[in-house]
């Protein structure tokens, strides 16, 4: 079974052109088949403001009405995705930019309204890992924007961490998959204000203890929930690390490694 590296790159790195270039340079040098899922950063919010589209966030999640869906599709699936693809081409990586709608790779359903109406937000139903495998066999490197689609033809804004986890899980039917979440911190921190306080290994028991103590909170919780779920469903290894340490994480180990 071939090794596959699935990497999700966070929005704050995308907002920093120098940091993004460093990451992509390291990504380009990684051996073996790989694919990338990216977030959108603050660019969508900035462009929405210029277009007079109001941004509403609830617990870090974007409310996506039709106007905001148009913005995130343009920004995530267009501007950000194609900039990343172009930079990878310049680094001799034959990248192909995709949303979940392309080649029917990631099918979702519109999130049902419960306490909050998130609008055109997608919860993933199915990943076509065979189609993604086809791209890899053509020596292409898929670069996914966090946009999916539903069975009636709607585009849907989809959480990039969740998309990375779902793709990694389905690809684990074909490959031994390492899933890496890269962002601007050195890993999961015991002290959010001390970048040297990296928790080297995290188990479900330790995770529950850190959550109960409030050490792990806010946006890190859905990221880790996705990560542990990926481990339980067949992904071989999950690492959370700084974008500058992605090569080190793959080759020797860096950041926080999750274990069952």
Which pLDDT score, from 0 to 100, does residue 255 have? 93
Confidence of residue 20 (pLDDT cuts 50, 70, 90): very high
Tell whether 62 is in a known binding site. yes
> How far is the C-alpha of 27 from the C-alpha of 22, rounded, in Å?
9
The stretch 16-41 carries a mean pLDDT of 94
Q: Residue 240 class from Cβ within 10 Å (0-12 exposed, 13-18 middle, 19+ buried)?
A: buried
Q: Do the Cβ atoms of 165 and 222 come closer than 8 Å?
A: no
Q: What percentage of the chain has pLDDT greater than the value 90?
A: 76
pLDDT at 7 over 80: yes
Instruction: Please give the pLDDT value at position 214.
Output: 83
- 3-258 CATH fold: Carbamate kinase (3.40.1160)
Q: For the residues of 141-191, what is the DSSP string, one character each?
A: EEEE-SEEE-TTS-EEE--HHHHHHHHHHHHTTTSEEEEEEEESSSSSBSS
Question: Average of pLDDT values for 128-145?
Answer: 97
* Rounded Cα–Cα distance for residues 235 and 199 (Å): 20
**Residue 137 marked as a ligand binder:** no
Instruction: Read off the pLDDT of each residue in 139-164 and give the average, rounded to a whole number.
Output: 96
Token pair recorded at residue 2: 């071939």
pLDDT at residue number 228:
92
pLDDT at site 1: 55
Strands (E), 63-114: 95-98, 106-110
State yes or no: 41 annotated in a binding site. yes
User: DSSP 3-state helix, strand, coil percentages of the chain (rounded to 5)?
Assistant: 40, 25, 35
Give the lowest-confidence range in 153-157, 212-216, 241-245: 212-216
Residue with tokens 């071989």: 236
Annotated binding residue 157: yes
Provide the pLDDT for residue 236. 94
CB 178 within 8 A of CB 133: no
Domain ranges of the chain: 3-258
Please tell me the distance from the alpha carbon of residue 3 to that of residue 16, in angstroms, as a whole number. Answer: 30
For the whole model, what pTM was predicted? 0.94
- Report how far Cα 185 is from the mean position of its chain's Cα atoms: 15
């Amino acid at each position: 079974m071939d090794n596959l590296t699935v990497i999700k790159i966070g929005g704050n790195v995308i907002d920093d052109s120098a940091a993004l270039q460093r990451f992509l340079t390291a990504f380009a040098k990684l051996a073996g088949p790989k694919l990338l899922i990216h977030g959108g950063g603050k660019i969508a919010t900035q462009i929405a403001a210029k277009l007079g589209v109001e941004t509403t966030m609830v617990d870090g999640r974007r409310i996506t009405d039709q106007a905001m869906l148009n913005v995130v599709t343009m920004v995530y699936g267009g501007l950000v995705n194609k900039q990343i693809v172009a930079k990878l081409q310049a680094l001799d990586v034959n990248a192909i930019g995709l949303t979940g709608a392309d080649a029917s790779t990631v099918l979702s359903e519109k999130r049902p309204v419960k306490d909050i109406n998130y609008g055109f937000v997608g919860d993933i139903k199915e990943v076509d890992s065979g189609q993604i495998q086809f791209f890899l066999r053509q020596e292409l490197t898929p670069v996914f924007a966090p946009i999916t689609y539903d069975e009636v033809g709607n585009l849907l804004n989809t959480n990039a961490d969740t998309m990375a986890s779902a793709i990694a899980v389905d690809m684990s039917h074909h490959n031994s998959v390492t899933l890496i979440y890269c962002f601007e911190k050195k890993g999961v921190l015991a002290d959010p204000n001390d970048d040297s306080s990296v928790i080297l290994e995290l188990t479900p028991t330790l995770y529950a203890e850190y959550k109960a103590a409030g050490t792990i909170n806010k946006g890190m919780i859905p990221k880790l929930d996705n990560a542990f779920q990926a481990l339980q469903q067949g992904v071989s290894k999950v690492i959370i690390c700084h974008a500058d340490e992605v090569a080190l994480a793959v080759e020797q180990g860096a950041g926080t490694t999750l274990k069952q």
